[in-house]
Amino acid sequence: MPSISDIPALPAIHVAIVEDDPGFRDALSKAVQASPDMQLASMAGTRAEGLAMLQGPPADVLLVDLGLPDGSGIDVIVAAVAQWPSCNIMVSTTFGDETHVMRSIEAGAAGYLLKDSSPAKMIDEIRSLASGGSPISPIIARQVLARFRGAAATTAPAAPAAPGTAGADQGAILSVREKEVLDYITRGFTAQEIARLMQLSPFTVRTFVRRIYSKLKVTSKTEAIYEARTLGLLPD
Amino acid sequence: MLRMKIFSSRLFANALFTVSVMLLVAVGAWYVQGDGEAASASLHLTQADWQDADGHSFSAPVPVMNSRDLPSRWQHAALPSALPLAPSPPSLPSPESATAGEKAVRTTWIKVPVTGALPAGPLVLYGIRIKTDGTVAVYANGRLAYRTQQRGQLWNSLFTPLWFTLDQHDGAEPLKEILIRVEHAPETPVGLSSLWVGTAEALRGRYYLRQWLQRELPATLSAAFMVVGIFALFVWFRRRHEMRYLLFFNLAAVSFVGHLHYYVSLPIVTDWFAWLTANALLWLLTVVHLFLRQLHGRPLTWLTCTLVGVTLAASVLSIPVLGILPVYPSTSLLVPFMYAVTVLMGVLVCTMGAKASWRRSREGMLLTIGVGVAVLLGMSDWLLHNNVVNPEGWFLGAYTNAVTFAMFGGLMYRRYIDAITEVEQINASLAQRLQAREAELEISHRLLREAALRQTISEERQRLMQDMHDGLGSSLISAIRSVEHGGVSDAKVSQILKDCLDDLKLTIDSMEPVEADLLLLLATLRFRLEPRFEGSNITLIWDVQELPTLVWLEPSSALHILRIVQESIANILRHTRADRIRVSTARDEDGGGVSVTIEDNGQGFDIGKALDSAAGRGLHNQQRRAKAVDGRVSWSSDAGGTRFTLWLPLVRKIAAV
């Protein structure tokens, strides 16, 4: 894991939290406040409060819980992508399971935070996210690979018919290095090990993951458009 | 839209039908056109004078013959007329008459005066027929203009109209008289139709209509019947068990042969062709009768025997080389008798057929009606032959073939339409049955799927309950007990709860889609255990290599493997002072399985002792779980460390339960 010394000195990271569990919210806010390079910007306990919060000044990192009492955190993620475009969104999850994480990433999240992590680990993750890195697990890596294989299969026949989406399609193809990173992760190697194997810095590996996530977002959008066209919901 | 389409296609069909019929009508009209002008551009000759003279042999007509040179015993006749047989006409005064008596030949002269205004231009002479068995010569204004039947009557003479151009020379006097010389046997009468003189344009329609209806149409139908018969023959080649196709071919062949005499220009003499012509009618009747039997299904044994007997007898007895039974053109009385027998047979076949088919076989009735019509047509021919009706009539017997063809064509048409309808119905019912079967299959598939799903859910529930009971449940109970009894540090309780959460995470991971990839499963485990190594001094060496797919790796077996490896690493963390753990994977050289090896550099332990003690429960669990996935675990330990190996098969003997 990257240590503080890896991160160049930056202005304070503004952290916003949408979380209904008061215990976790307190632990998290305490950890943020205890960190000298971070500042707790705002907090919300429900989906409605979260959406209202997005009307205010944007934070650098937004932590969102998916299971909110009045709706899904996915809505907050989607709204944040539109209203706080420069914000790094992070979903907080108990298990980091494939279903929740993939949905969040496709909605626009750049990472996830395991709720049982130690406070130090949490702060590290937030810091890494703020500086452009993203975490990943082997199961997620395998899912991302599968998603890109599926996207390549579905967009290939549609591409000649829709030249306007060519740019988006190009973004939906993984580079060889990106694919290599994902392959290593599915085989159980850590970011540090991969960095050594590929002669990169551990932080670069994490930025690779961020780039892959944004491509996945595009891909899932393209897929949605393709599917909508196939279903006749959108004009060609 | 659809209605529009149907409407337009129906309109198109109607238009197509109308155009086709109009086309045929137009061609017919064009073919016989000009009939209307006949009155103005032609002259109808209906008055004649005639006389007979007997000679002893046939002779060539002289080129020039003036009617005034003939004896003046003309008798008047109105055309058309069958001239009566004079019992004893006076002999022509000629040198040959002296030797008369061997074989007499009668010469009939017919004088037709041409009175009235003739149209200008080249003229033609047209008459429906000159009915005689001898030679015919026609003189115009005393000059030989046309000869026909020079060797006597031909089989088709009766059906061939008289039609020739009257040569006219410049300055010659206009046509005043037509003289016809007919040489024939004294006992056969001469019949003559009325004559027409006029321009070719005016008479052509009349001539063509006669020619077409009396000769060409029946001939065409006869040929068509033959072609359809050959078609039936080819059907029979492929369907030998259906005799009716062969019978149909036989019918067509007999009909064709039996009607050839209407079209061929062979002289009428007693020979094989005469034999064939005379007997074909009986053969035809026999075949039709056999066919009828097939249709109505009644044997009619006596009729069949009689018919076959008469036919065979007549056919054998009249064979030319035997010559016992005479055939036409013989003048014997047996010839009309045989025709009477034929007519009687026809009436019998028709009556009995009708009786047998009545309310039993519509097709049989149809055919019976056909036989009746054919008998009537034959009788009309007989009347014409024997001059009972005037010689301008139609020989309708030529249409017997057409009637037979129409009847059998009708039968075939019905069969064909019925067959198409039947095939359509069969197809429709097949499609219906197929649909029903598909629906049934779909239902049974759904039931199977539901049953399979219920089975899966039930198995999954059992597995999870077992796992919760052994792992999470017992951990939580020990945590509760620790808290209740007190004396346990918060850190210890926190550790127990963390272990519970880890247990839960492994359970969830086991349900993630690992796609039969053992390495991905191990990677997930490492990812989960990573926080444990953080802050410890232990170095984890990840020395894995690609493994073949384990097709049997599904959630329950995944959980077993996760627990085995987790237990192994937990044991190292708990009981040894190792600072290096090496995880490696390998596949067997013989390709039968894969192994996961976990080595540490701790102090080692006595495996036998551990397995026997109560503390060895974890090791027994590992053994049990390995066995559950047809794998095995092994340990080797010394002071330098412990090496744990989990072996898994590539293929399991039986499907995982």
Test mutation, B517, B527, B584, chain A, max A CBs within 10 A: B527
Residue given tokens 């197509």 in the structure block: B16
Percent of chain B with pLDDT over 70: 93
Residues B117 and B190 in one domain: yes
Looking at residue B261, what DSSP letter applies? G
CB contact under 8 A, B512 and A98: yes
Confidence of residue B123 (pLDDT cuts 50, 70, 90): confident
CATH of domain A4-130: 3.40.50.2300
- Asked, for residue B559, whether it belongs to a domain, the answer is yes
**Cα–Cα–Cα angle for B406, B370, B261, nearest 5°?**
75
Q: Is residue B462 part of a domain?
A: no
| CB-CB neighbors (< 8 A) of B544 in chain A | 187-188
**A131-144 pLDDT, tens per residue?**
999 999 998 999 88
Residue with tokens 């690779």: A208
List chain B residues with CB under 8 Å of A116: 498, 501
- Chain B interface with A: residues with Cβ < 8 Å: 498, 501, 504-505, 508-509, 512-515, 517, 519-520, 522-524, 526-527, 530-531, 534, 542, 544, 546
Summarised one tens digit per residue, pLDDT across range B448-486 is 999 999 888 888 788 777 777 777 787 788 778 878 887
Contact B569, B610 (CB under 8 A): no
Q: Between A116, A139, A193, which is nearest B524 by CB?
A: A139
Residue B95: what pLDDT? 45
Separation of alpha carbons B92 and B183, rounded Å? 13
Beta carbons of B525 and A189 less than 8 angstroms apart: no
Range from A161-175, B88-102, B629-643 that averages highest in pLDDT: B629-643
Residue B185: CATH number of its domain: 2.60.120
% pLDDT > 90, chain B: 19
CATH no. for residue B628? 3.30.565.10
pLDDT at residue A162 in the model:
40
- Select the residue from A113, A115, A121, A142 to test the B interface by mutation, using most B Cβ atoms within 10 A: A142
Residue B299 lies in a domain: yes
> Do B228 and B185 reside in the same domain of the chain?
no
Q: Residue A187: its chain B contacts at CB < 8 A?
A: 519-520, 523, 544, 546
Question: What SS3 class is residue B208?
Answer: helix
ipTM, 2 decimals?
Answer: 0.83
Q: What is the rounded CA–CA span in Å between residue A108 and residue A79? A: 10
φ/ψ of B637, rounded to 5, equals -140, 140
- Classify residue B442: in a domain, yes or no: no
From B392, B422, B452, the end of a domain falls on: B422
* Structure letter (DSSP) for residue A58: P
Query: Is residue A70 less than 8 Å (CB to CB) from chain B?
Result: no
Which secondary-structure segment (H or E) carries A213? helix A202-231
A187: contact with B, CB 8 A cutoff:
yes
Kindly write down the DSSP assignment for every residue of B94-106, as one continuous string.
Answer: SGGGGGTTSS-EE
With contact defined as beta carbons under 8 Å apart, do B76 and B142 qualify?
no
Strands B195-198 and B177-184: unpaired
Q: For residue B401, what pLDDT is reported?
A: 83
Chain B residue closest in CA terms to A185: B523
Which segment, A109-113, B490-494, B552-556, is predicted with the most confidence on average?
A109-113
Contact between A142 and B509 using a beta-carbon 8 Å cutoff: no
- Burial annotation B84-117 (CB, 10 A radius, 16+ → b, else e): eebeebeebeeeeeeebeeeebbbbbbbbebeee
Residue numbers of A between 88 and 117 with CB closer than 8 Å to B: 95, 97-98, 116-117
* pLDDT reported for residue A147: 84
Tell me whether A168 touches chain B (CB under 8 Å). Answer: no
At a CB cut-off of 8 Å and minimum separation 6, what does B259 contact? B218, B222, B280, B398, B400, B401
Residues B148 and B249 in one domain: no
Query: Do B41 and B156 reside in the same domain of the chain?
Result: yes
Burial environment of residue B400 by CB neighbours within 10 A (0 to 12, 13 to 18, 19 or more): buried
A142: nearest CB among B505, B520, B544 = B520
Parts of chain A belonging to CATH 3.40.50.2300: 4-130
Tokens encoding B199: 């321009």
Domain carrying residue B122: 37-198
Report in angstroms the alpha-carbon separations of B456 from A39, B505, B555: 50, 22, 11
Bridging pattern class, strands B105-113 and B47-55: antiparallel
Q: Measured between CB atoms, does A148 come within 8 Å of chain B?
A: no
* Under 8 Å between Cβ of B361 and B296: yes
Locate tokens 């053969």: which residue? B283
| CA distance to partner chain B, nearest, from residue A82 (Å) | 31
CB within 8 Å: A139 and B509: yes
Q: Tell me, yes or no, whether B300 and B165 share the same domain.
A: no
Confidence (pLDDT) at A236: 54
In a domain, B492, yes or no: no
Residue B292 inside a domain? The answer is yes
Q: How far apart are CA B335 and CA B354, in angstroms?
A: 29
* Residue B398 clears pLDDT 60, i.e. is over it: yes
Tally of domains within chain B? 3
Alpha-carbon span A68 to A20, nearest angstrom: 6
Tell me whether the omega of the peptide bond preceding residue B329 falls within 30 degrees of 0, making it cis: yes
**pLDDT per residue as tens digits for the range B284-311:** 889 889 888 888 888 889 999 999 999 9
For residue B80, is the peptide bond before it cis, meaning its omega torsion is within 30 degrees of 0?
Answer: yes
**Can you list the positions of beta strands (E) in chain A?**
13-18, 38-44, 61-65, 67-68, 71-72, 88-93, 111-114
Please indicate, yes or no, if residue B587 is contained in any of the structural domains: yes
**The model's pTM:** 0.52
Same domain for B300 and B259: yes
Residue of A nearest to B547 (CA): A187
Q: What value does the mean pLDDT of chain B take?
A: 84
Please tell me the predicted confidence (pLDDT) of residue B94.
46
Residue A48 confidence (pLDDT)? 94
Query: For residue B51, is it within any domain?
Result: yes
User: Is B544 close to A193, i.e. CB distance below 8 A?
Assistant: no
For chain A, list residues with pLDDT below 50: 1-2, 156-171
A149 in contact with B at a CB cutoff of 8 Å?
Answer: no
A185: closest CA of chain B, how far (Å)? 8
Q: CA of A95 to nearest chain B CA: how many angstroms apart?
A: 6
pLDDT of residue A154: 56
Residues B95-119: what's their mean pLDDT? 71
Main-chain dihedrals φ then ψ at residue B386, nearest 5 degrees? -95, 20
Q: To the nearest whole angstrom, how far is the Cα of B484 from the nearest Cα of chain A?
A: 23
B65 close to B179: Cβ distance less than 8 angstroms: yes
DSSP B308-376: HHHHHHHHHHT-TTT-SS--TT---THHHHHHHHHHHHHHHHHHHHHHHHTTT-HHHHHHHHHHHHHHH
Closest CA to B362 of B309, B411, B305, B302: B411
Smallest CA–CA separation between B462 and chain A, in Å?
Answer: 22
Chain A residues in contact with B472 (beta carbon < 8 A): none
The answer to whether the Cβ–Cβ distance between B512 and A193 falls below 8 Å is no
Name the percent of chain A in helix, strand, coil, to the closest 5: 60, 15, 30
Q: CB contacts < 8 Å between A and B, how many?
A: 55
Give the mean model confidence (pLDDT) for residues B339-351: 89
Q: B291-313 burial, b if ≥16 CB within 10 A, otherwise e?
A: bbbebbebebeebbeebeebbee
